[in-house]
Structure 1
Amino acid sequence: MSHHSDDAFNDSPNEHFQDVLERSSQTPLNRRNLIRGGIGLAALSSIPFLSACGGGGDDAPAPTPGAPSARALGFGAIDKSLLDNVILPAGYTYSVLHATGDRLVSSIPAYTNLGTETDEWTMRVGDHHDGMDLFYVNGSGRYSTTDTGRAVLVVNHESSADAHFFHANGQTTNGVSGKKFSQFDSWDLGVRPELEVLKEINHHGVSVVEVGKNASGTWEYKLDSLYNRRVTGQSPMRIAGPAAHLADIRALMVTAFDSTGASSRGTLNNCGHGKTPWGTYLACEENWAAYFFMPAGSTDVDARTKTSRQRYGVIRAPHAAATAGSQGWSNTATAGTDNRFGRWNVSAPGASAAQDFRNEPNTFGFNVEIDPLTSGTPAKRVAMGRFAHEAAICGLPVVGQPLAFYMGCDSRNEYIYKFVSTAVWSASDVGGGLAAGDKYLNEGRLYVAKFNDNGTGEWLELNIANPLISGYATYVFANQADVLVNARHAADAVGATKMDRPEWGAVNPANGEIYFTMTNSNNANRPVTGTNAANPRSYTDNDGRGQVGGNPNGHIIRFKETANASTATTFAWDIFLFGAEADAGANINLSGLTAKNDFSSPDGLWFSKATGICWIQTDDGAYTDQSNCMLLAAIPGSVGDGGAIAVNNTVAGVSATQGTFIGAALGEARLRRFLVSPRGAEVTGITESADGRAIFVNIQHPGEGTPALGAGPFAFESQWPGNQGYAPAGRPRSATIVITRIDGGVIGL
C-alpha cells in the first residue's frame, strides 16, 4: 500500500516489464514467445485444485492425493457500493475486533475518539491496520501449528497520514492547530508539540493482542492479556545479518543512539507481512523513506550517502533545502537535546556518524522479525535486503531443503526479490522463536528477478563478487554489507526487470506457485509505445478518478520455480488476472470481467489454507467513482493455462498492437466480489481461524479524504465504524473485522 503520488525513484536503464517481449514483436506469435497467463481456465473439473492449502509462509500440510478438485465459490457475488459500511453477501455478518486507539491494558483510559488522549499511545492499538496473521499458543506458551483454543493476532500499522484525527483540533504547528500533514505533501515548517509527535510515531509499528471467542461465540480481543504489546517507531531493535559481514553492516548503522551500530529504534510504515514456518512474524517496512528531513541550511551529507538516499527517496531535490516528505517530527522545541525527535533530522553536523543521525535512514527498510509470544527484542534481518518491503512470503517448506522468501519492492519500476536460506528446513524448529530466525534469516543468498521475453525468468544473485556490481559506476559498493543495505542499486547493476509496483505476494500451496500483485501504472511509466506481450494494455479511463492513463487497473502475475525448488535460479511466469471495468472493452477487459467481479488496483493477496481460495484486496484510486475498495475470491489455476490473443491499443492517436497469452473469461463461478469497504478505505490484510469459519480482514483509513479541521468542524468522508455502533462514534477509525457465516459454515464455499 502506498500513499505516494508518484514514488518512482529508479532511473536505471534496466529493462522495464513493459519492454519484455518487444524484441519478439517481429516474429510470429507462438506458444514459446508468448506470455502464458490468465485465470480463465479449462473445465473446472479438470483443475487440480486441492483443499489442503495454505497462505504465504504458513506451514500448511502437503496436498493430499484424491482431495476435492471441483470446488466452486458458494456465495452470491455482491454489487459495487458507495455506502459507508462493510457490505457482504447474504448469509454473512461481521463484527469489529479492535480499532485504532483501543486500549490494550485497563490502566489507561478507554479511547475517546476526540483526540484528547494524554498518553503516548504505547499501549493502544495503532493506526492504518494492514498485514496481519494469527498464531495459536500451546500449553507451554509456544507457537502451535494447530488450533489450541488460544491465539494471538499480530497486526501491522502502516501510516499516520490521518493523524489529524488523533489530536483534539487537528495537527499543530507554531501554535496553530487544525492542520492535516501528510508525509507526502509539503507543509509549514513550524514547531510541533511533543505529545502530538509521540502519538504519531507510536501509531506506527505492530500490535500484538490475544484474541478468542466470548461466551456468545463472538471473537473479541482480551484486555490485559500478558501477550498484549506494541512494537512502535521507538521500540529497540537488534541489527542482525550474515556473520561474515556483520561488522560492515553495523558500521552503516552507527548513530548517536548506538555508536556500535548493533541496535536501532523503531519500525515504520509496516504494510505487507510474512509468517515463518517456525512461528514468528515478519513486519515489512514499506514507505519508510518519507519520514526523514534535512532543514534548509543544515550540514549536508557526503556525495555517496546522497546517491544512496536519492535511490530510496529519502531526499528530494534540492537536497539541502526544506524538502517535502516529513511529518515534522524533528521540529519540536527539544529536538536539539531529545533524540526521540532529533533523530528524524538526518543532516550531518557531527564530526562523525556517531555524533548525529545521518545514518538513521540506513536502519529502516528491512523485514523485522517479531516473536508474538515473547517480549524478545525484534530483529531487523539485513540479509533479506533493504528496500520498500511489501510482503515476505515463504515458499512451501520442505524438510532438508533451504527456505525461500519472496519479496516485492513497492514502488513503480521496482523489483521482485528472493532470499534463500543457507540452513535447510527442520520441522524441529517449529516454535523456535527468534533463535530459529537467526538460523534461517541471517545467512543466505539474495536474488532479484529478471523476466525474459520467452516466458522464462532468472534469479540474479546480488553479490559483490559479481563484476556488474563491483564495477557499477552509479554507486560504488564498498563491500557485501553495502550491497545488502543498498539492494536497489545492486538490482539496478545486474539488470533486473522493472515492475509496475510489486506489492503483496502469496504462495499457492496446491502447487507451490508464487503470485504477486502489480497494483497499477501510469502513462509516465508505461506509455502506449511501451506496451508488449507482458504488459499489453495502455488506455485512458475517462470516467474514473485519480490516475486515468496507462494501466490504472493493474494486474496479477505468477511464476513457477524450475522443478519447484526453493534454490532454483530459473522460473516460468505468466499473467494471472487483469483488473478492469466490466464495460471497458475487450482490449482493456482482457480477463472478461463482469459487473459482479470487475475490480481495479489489486494489492493485498492471500490463500486460505482451509478452502484454497485466493483472496484479492484492492487499494484503488481509479474506480472509486463507481465503488469503494473491495475483496474478491478466486479459484486459482496454474502457470501456462491460458491462450493467445492480440490487443490493440490507441491512446491520443498513438497505436500499438501486442500479442499476449492470457486466459479466457473467468466467469462469476470462479471470481466473485465478496466485500466492499466503507468510504475512503482500502481493504488490506487477511487471515483466518484454523477451521476456516472466521476470516479477519483489515479496513484501513476510512474517511481518508476528510479535510483538515481548519476553523470549522470536520467534513467527514466516513464515520465508520462508529456509524455502525462501534463506540465511540464520530471520527473514522481503521479496524480489524471478523467475518463469519450466520449458519456457522466455512467462509467462501
Structure 2
Amino acid sequence: MTRRAPDAPVFEELLTQRLTRRHVLRAGVAIAPMAVAGSALFTPAQARASKAAQLGFKPIVGSNADAVVLPPGYTYDVLIRWGESLTSKVPDLDASKLDAGALLQPNAAEYQRQQFGTNSDAIHFFPLNGRSDHGVLCVNNEYTEDSLMFPGHPGLRGLRGGRSRAYVQEHPQVVPVAKAAQGVSVVEIKRERGRWRFVKDSRFNRRVTADTPIDIGGPARGAELMRTKDDPRGERALGTFANCAGGETPWGTYLTAEENIQDYFAKLDQLEARKDVDPFIIEAHRRWRMWKAQSLYNWDIADPRFDLATTPTEPFRFGWIVEIDPLDPTSTPIKRTALGRFAHEGASPVIAGNGRIAVYMGDDDKFEYVYKFISTNRFDPRNRAANRSLLDQGTLHVARFDASGKGEWLPLVFDPKGPLNAAAGFRNQADVLIKARMAAYLLGATPMDRPEDVEANPTTGRIYIACTRNENRTVEAGTTTYGGREIDTSPNAANPRSANNFGHIIEITEAGDDHTALEFSWEVFLLAGDPSGGRLITHLGEVKSDSAYYAGYANAADLSPMGSPDNVGFDRAGNLWIVTDGSQPHGGNDGCWVAPTVGPNRGRLQQFMSGPVGSEVCGCQFSPDDETLFISIQHPGAGGSTAEPRSHWPDGGSSQPRSSVIAIRKEGGGVVGS
C-alpha cells in the first residue's frame, strides 16, 4: 500500500497557533524549546550571534547595469575567467576570436581541458597552512551556453525544428569542447598586496571534466543498473557534468553535485519502443523526464554514451554527489552513491554531537524533495584517511513536512515487505538509491517548490532550504501527472503560495539540536517577493500569491525586494547570505542579499550586490576570516550570441562576455558586510 503525506489543516490556523505561542512566551510563560519552531527562543550561542550580527553596509537598489554593483566602500577582483589557462603549456582562450570559430579549431577541446571551465557555479575555499589569504578553490562549471561559444549556434531557440541538432551534426567537434568546458576547476589562489589572483602552473591546478575517469563508491558500486558495455563491472564512470552547487567535508574534501543530467541524454522514445528492456528502467528515465528524441545538447551525435537506445543504463551513472580531494591532484574522484541519485543542487555536511556526519541535500526540480544522509560511522578529526569512507555507509532519508510545524526524516531503505520492495521496482538497496525519487514518493515525502541549496547555520545549527520558485503550484487541489508520478500540485504547509513566482526559504530546527535526529520542527523564514504596496505580511495568517514575508520583520521600507533564492551561505556571525537565479520583483538583475537570522533584525533582508546583464549569481563562499566573499558570475549575456553579445562583462568595451569568479572585499580591508 502506498503511503502519502497526511492531509494538511488550513495553513493560517497553524500560524495563528504559533503566533499565540510566541505571545505567551514573551509574557514569561515557560514553554518547552521544541514547542516553538525557532524564532522566539535563543540559546546562548544564538544570543552571542545576535550581538555579532550587525550589518553596517549601505544596501544597494536593484540594477539593470551590465556591471557588478556593490555598496560604497567595496570593490572586487576578477579572480579567474572562463578560458584562462591553468598551465603555461597551453594558451589562454582568445575570446575575441569566438565569433570567428576559435572553439571549432582541432585543438580547442585539448586546450579547454587545461583551461578554467565555463559557467561557474559552486565555490569552496580550502586554506593552505590555515591561511585566509592563500588556498585552493574548487569551482563547479555547470553547463555550456553554446550560443555564446560557437558562431551561429542557435542555442535554446534552435531546439524547435532541430536547428541546434543540425548545427552539432555539421560541427561534431562542438561535443568534445563542451564536455571539456564542464565539470570542476581546481585552482590555487593568493591574496597579495590586497588583491586576489590565481596561481598559474600550481601543482594543485587541475580539471575534472565530462570525460575524467571517476570511481563509483557506496552501495550502488557494481549494481546491475550501473553496468554498461564499456564498464561491465559497474565500478568506474566516465566523467561528471551538470555540476551545480557543492559542499566541503570536515576532512577537507570537495563535494560536487550532479544536477540536470536529463538534458544530456536523447532518444527515450526509441528506448520505449524496445521490448527487451526492463520496464522499470524506462519508468526511472521517465521520472527524470529524459528527452524523447533530441536532447538539449545533442552530445549523442558524437558520443554513443548519451544515446539511450544504445546505452540504456548510462544515465544511472550520473545524478550523484562526487567527492574530490583538492589537495591531492593525483587522486581519483569518487561518486558517493549512498547519498542518493537525484538532481542534486548541493551537499552540506555537518558533524553531529555524536560524531556522525549528516549531509543535507535538495533535489532541484518542481515538486521534488529534501534529503538528509546520516553516516553509520563517526568522524575522526585525527585521521583524515579514515574519514574517506564515511559517505559510503549510512542511511539516506527524505523529509515530510507536517502542517503542525513538525516533520520527519523518512529512511530510504529496501524492505522485502514494502513499500520499497520488488513489487515497486526495487530489487535491493542499490536500486532504492539509484531510483531515490521514486522511493521518496512512495514514502510520502513532501513535494517542494524546487528545493535547491540546503545549508546549516554555523552559529545556531538551524537548517535553511532555498526553494527557488514554482510557477506550477496551483490554486485548487487536484491530482496531476508531473515527473512520472501523480501528485497534488496545490499549496501545502511548507509551500504555502500558489503560482510561487519568487520562491521562499524554510528554516528547520532538528529535535534536540541533533543533526542525526529523525524528527524536526520547521517554519517559513522568508516568502520572497515585493514587500511594498501592502504585500508585506508580518505573520503567515493569510498567504496570497503576491504576499511577501521576511521572518516577521515589519518595516517594508527597510527591506530589499528579492526573488528566486538559489544558493545560500553564512558568515561567522550567522547572517544568511543569498544569491539568486531568476525573476526579481522589480525586474533587476540577479544578485546577492543578506539577512540576520536571530535578534531584533531577524529577516531584515538587504541587497549587497547586483550582477551583470543576463547573469546568474552563484557561489556565496567566504574566506575563513570573512574578509573576502567569493561569487561566481554565471552566463553573463545569456540570450545573446557571439555575433550579438548582450553583455561585455567582465572586460568591457566590445568584448565577449565570460563567466568568471570574483573576490569581493572591503576597500582597505575588514569583514565583508560590517
Query: Structure 1 length as normaliser, TM-score?
Result: 0.77
In structure 2, the partner of 1:680 is 614
Higher relative contact order structure (alpha carbons within 8 Å, sequence separation ≥ 6)? 1
Q: 1:469 Cα shift?
A: 2.6
- Match 1:371 to one of 311, 314, 325: 325
In structure 1, the partner of 2:487 is none
- Match 2:125 to one of 125, 130, 134: 134
Do structure 1's residue 437 and structure 2's residue 366 form an aligned pair? no
In structure 1, the partner of 2:516 is 567
Query: What amino acid is aligned across from residue 237 of structure 1 in structure 2?
Result: I
Change (3 A) 1:358 1:705: same
Do structure 1's residue 119 and structure 2's residue 108 form an aligned pair? yes
Q: Give the unaligned 5+ runs of structure 2.
A: 23-33, 478-489, 536-543
In structure 1, the partner of 2:137 is 153
In structure 2, the partner of 1:336 is none
- Partners of 2:442 and 2:636 in 1: how far apart? 40
Do structure 1's residue 180 and structure 2's residue 162 form an aligned pair? no
Change (3 A) 1:187 1:426: same
Q: What is the correspondence of 1:67-216 to structure 2 with a 5 Å cutoff?
A: 69=51, 71-113=53-95, 114-115=97-98, 116-117=102-103, 118-120=107-109, 121-138=112-129, 146-147=130-131, 150-160=134-144, 162-167=145-150, 169-171=151-153, 179-181=154-156, 187-188=162-163, 189-190=165-166, 191-214=169-192, 216=193
In structure 2, the partner of 1:259 is 232
- Partners of 2:20 and 2:281 in 1: how far apart? 42
Q: 1:68 Cα shift?
A: 6.8
In structure 2, the partner of 1:693 is 627
Do structure 1's residue 387 and structure 2's residue 342 form an aligned pair? yes
In structure 1, the partner of 2:474 is 526
Change (3 A) 1:423 1:41: closer
Change (3 A) 1:166 1:510: same
Q: 1:165 Cα shift?
A: 2.2
User: In the alignment, is the contact (CA less than 8 A) between 1:469 and 1:493 conserved in 2?
Assistant: yes
SS in 2 for 1:692: coil
Q: What is the correspondence of 1:386-465 to structure 2 with a 5 Å cutoff?
A: 386-398=341-353, 400-430=354-384, 432=385, 436-438=387-389, 440-465=390-415
- Partners of 1:197 and 1:180 in 2: how far apart? 14
Q: 1:598 Cα shift?
A: 0.9
Q: What is the correspondence of 1:279-294 to structure 2 with a 5 Å cutoff?
A: 279-294=252-267
User: In the alignment, is the contact (CA less than 8 A) between 1:696 and 1:739 conserved in 2?
Assistant: yes
In structure 1, the partner of 2:529 is 580
Query: What amino acid is aligned across from residue 663 of structure 2 in structure 1?
Result: V
SS in 1 for 2:301: coil
User: In the alignment, is the contact (CA less than 8 A) between 1:34 and 1:454 conserved in 2?
Assistant: no
Q: What is the correspondence of 1:237-276 to structure 2 with a 5 Å cutoff?
A: 237-242=214-219, 246-247=221-222, 249=223, 251-276=224-249
Q: 1:531 Cα shift?
A: 3.8
Q: 1:347 Cα shift?
A: 0.8
Q: 1:496 Cα shift?
A: 0.7
In structure 1, the partner of 2:29 is none
In structure 1, the partner of 2:308 is 346
Query: Structure 2 length as normaliser, TM-score?
Result: 0.86
Do structure 1's residue 536 and structure 2's residue 506 form an aligned pair? no
- Match 2:571 to one of 608, 619, 622: 608
Change (3 A) 1:66 1:293: closer
Identify, as 1 or 2, the structure richer in helix: 2
SS in 1 for 2:162: coil
Q: 1:147 Cα shift?
A: 1.6
- Match 1:31 to one of 8, 15, 18: 18
Query: Could you give the per-residue CA deviations for residues 410-463 of structure 1, whole angstroms, max 9, x where no partner exists?
Result: 001000011000111221134x3xx6222x100001110111121000111011
- Match 2:296 to one of 302, 320, 326: 326
Query: What amino acid is aligned across from residue 331 of structure 1 in structure 2?
Result: I
Do structure 1's residue 220 and structure 2's residue 174 form an aligned pair? no
- Percent sequence identity is 35
In structure 2, the partner of 1:619 is 581
Q: 1:525 Cα shift?
A: 2.5
User: In the alignment, is the contact (CA less than 8 A) between 1:37 and 1:574 conserved in 2?
Assistant: no
Q: 1:256 Cα shift?
A: 2.4
- Partners of 2:468 and 2:371 in 1: how far apart? 17
- Partners of 1:218 and 1:27 in 2: how far apart? 51
Q: 1:721 Cα shift?
A: 0.7
Change (3 A) 1:14 1:182: farther
- Partners of 1:34 and 1:20 in 2: how far apart? 23
In structure 2, the partner of 1:505 is 454
SS in 2 for 1:428: coil
SS in 2 for 1:429: coil
Do structure 1's residue 738 and structure 2's residue 672 form an aligned pair? no
Q: 1:401 Cα shift?
A: 2.4
Q: Which moved more, 1:588-597 or 1:690-699?
A: 588-597
- Partners of 1:688 and 1:403 in 2: how far apart? 22
In structure 1, the partner of 2:429 is 480
SS in 1 for 2:346: strand
Q: Which moved more, 1:591-600 or 1:556-565?
A: 591-600
Q: 1:637 Cα shift?
A: 2.4
Change (3 A) 1:494 1:295: closer
- Partners of 1:681 and 1:496 in 2: how far apart? 33
Query: What amino acid is aligned across from residue 309 of structure 1 in structure 2?
Result: H
Query: Could you give the per-residue CA deviations for residues 325-372 of structure 1, whole angstroms, max 9, x where no partner exists?
Result: 33111214xxxxxxxx11111214xxxxxxxx2211010000000001
Change (3 A) 1:742 1:426: same
- Match 2:9 to one of 22, 38, 41: 22
- Partners of 1:279 and 1:49 in 2: how far apart? 29
In structure 2, the partner of 1:234 is 211
- Partners of 1:391 and 1:673 in 2: how far apart? 24
- Partners of 2:615 and 2:8 in 1: how far apart? 37
Q: Give the unaligned 5+ runs of structure 1.
A: 1-11, 51-62, 139-145, 172-178, 317-322, 333-340, 349-356, 539-549, 639-663
Do structure 1's residue 633 and structure 2's residue 581 form an aligned pair? no
Q: 1:37 Cα shift?
A: 13
SS in 2 for 1:436: helix
Q: 1:671 Cα shift?
A: 2.3
Change (3 A) 1:70 1:490: same
Query: What amino acid is aligned across from residue 440 of structure 2 in structure 1?
Result: A
User: In the alignment, is the contact (CA less than 8 A) between 1:40 and 1:665 conserved in 2?
Assistant: no
Query: What amino acid is aligned across from residue 345 of structure 2 in structure 1?
Result: E
- Partners of 1:363 and 1:199 in 2: how far apart? 21
- Partners of 1:41 and 1:457 in 2: how far apart? 17
Query: What amino acid is aligned across from residue 589 of structure 1 in structure 2?
Result: A
SS in 2 for 1:330: helix
Query: What amino acid is aligned across from residue 317 of structure 2 in structure 1?
Result: T
